[in-house]
Amino acid sequence: MKIINVAGARPNFVKIAPLMSAFKAAGNIETLLVHTGQHYDKKMSGLFFDQLEISRPDVNLGVGSAGHAVQTAEIMKAFEPVLEGYRPDAVLVVGDVNSTIACGLVAVKLGIKLVHVEAGLRSFDRRMPEEINRVLTDAISDLLFCTEQSGVDNLRNEGVGGEKIFLVGNVMIDTLLENKAKADESTILAGLGLEDGKYTVLTLHRPSNVDDPGAFGRILDALEVIQRESPIVFPVHPRTSKNLREGGLAARVDQMVGLRMIDPLGYLDFLKLMSSAAAVLTDSGGIQEETTILKVPCLTLRDGTERPITVEVGTNTVVGTDTEKIISTWRAALAGRDRKVQTPPLWDGKAAQRITEIICDKI
């Protein structure tokens, strides 16, 4: 069986790593790894291939950054000849980025089976580009692999046949469990002069936060207070960095002496940074899941989450962008008033293995 695996943006690399290993271990699957080039900086891409020991992409479409239409269209144009040349039995896409829908659409139009890993998640907010990518990719996929029961329920509610849907667990957690011991050896805390459990980690990159001066301003108001009480480490995403500079906000954050802005980190250093943090403030999807397994309090700076299991059984609290709510929830998290947390069903490091078995059976 021949499968093309697609990856394009930073969180995709973390998800594809255990799948590549499981396909190799199966012995009867030949793979081609296609990198769309949506993310291209060493710190957003190459570092992840090195640290997660993912083989070099067989093909790099080299598409790079652009508006949604151009980026999606360029990926489609570049991916079609690769598919025609390789003629796989299936194309596997992960997550919800523009590379996911672009390559999925090309595959189904050529009559090739489409497999979506991390299917069914819904924020029910169609202003999010990722929500559009999720809904459309799921609508055209032949096999849909879900991380949590809400994903299965959402797909069933949208009329997807039960025979296509499989609750398998979470490949991002496969990677976390596989790399936790290695990450524990990271010297990032000493490098940044931080004490275990005595700092907060911040990540921010959603357009609804960093492209909107109102939301960004409310978050900065909260950070201003928090950084006076405890240090914040902030690995800055390129989109956020650009907006800070161009929006004239750089001077404001520079004045916050407790807010430490650093370049994006590699996987192992970031995992160590998260696991030793007192709390994490984020608008990322994957980090809500990772902090659930690490049992570190997570405050999600969005109005909702497409990953409700992280709130139901995990450490996640959805706080939105209200300044006072962010500050009070952060203080409560540090005071240790959090309830007991559980591991979501099947987040046990074996999701990629389950996916491989089902693909071998069904395709």
| Strands in 133-278 per DSSP E | 143-146, 165-167, 200-203, 232-235, 259-262
Q: Which of residues 129-158 bind ligand UD1 (CB under 6 A)?
A: 129-130
Binding mask 179-218 vs ligand UD1 (x if CB under 6 A, - otherwise)?
--------------------------x-------------
Among the candidate windows 32-40, 115-123, 227-235, 327-335, which touches ligand UD1 by CB under 6 A?
32-40
- Contact flag: residue 289 with ligand UD1 (CB under 6 A): no
**Region for residue 112 given its phi and psi (left: phi exceeds 0; alpha: psi -120 to 50; beta: otherwise):** beta
- Contact flag: residue 238 with ligand UD1 (CB under 6 A): yes
- What are the structure tokens assigned to 153, written together? 């329920």
- Contact flag: residue 98 with ligand UD1 (CB under 6 A): yes
Among the candidate windows 51-59, 233-241, 246-254, 302-310, which touches ligand UD1 by CB under 6 A?
233-241
Q: Which of 35, 116, 205, 237 is catalytic?
A: 205
- Contact flag: residue 46 with ligand UD1 (CB under 6 A): no
The answer to whether the CB of 322 falls within 8 A of the CB of 48 is no
Q: Which of 26, 44, 73, 253 binds ligand UD1 (CB under 6 A)?
A: 44
39 is catalytic: no
Rounded Cα gap, residues 12 and 31, in angstroms: 16
- What are the structure tokens assigned to 83, written together? 């598919």
98-109 and 68-86 helices, crossing angle to 10°: 40
Q: What is the 3-state secondary structure (H, E, C) of 120-166?
A: CCCCCCCCCHHHHHHHHHHHHCCEEEECCHHHHHHHHHCCCCHHHEE
Q: Least Å distance between CB 261 and ligand UD1?
A: 15
Rounded Cα gap, residues 261 and 285, in angstroms: 21
Among the candidate windows 37-45, 47-55, 173-181, 348-356, which touches ligand UD1 by CB under 6 A?
37-45
Residues in touch with ligand UD1 (CB under 6 A): 9-11, 38-41, 44, 65, 96-98, 129-130, 205, 237-239, 242
Active site residues: 205
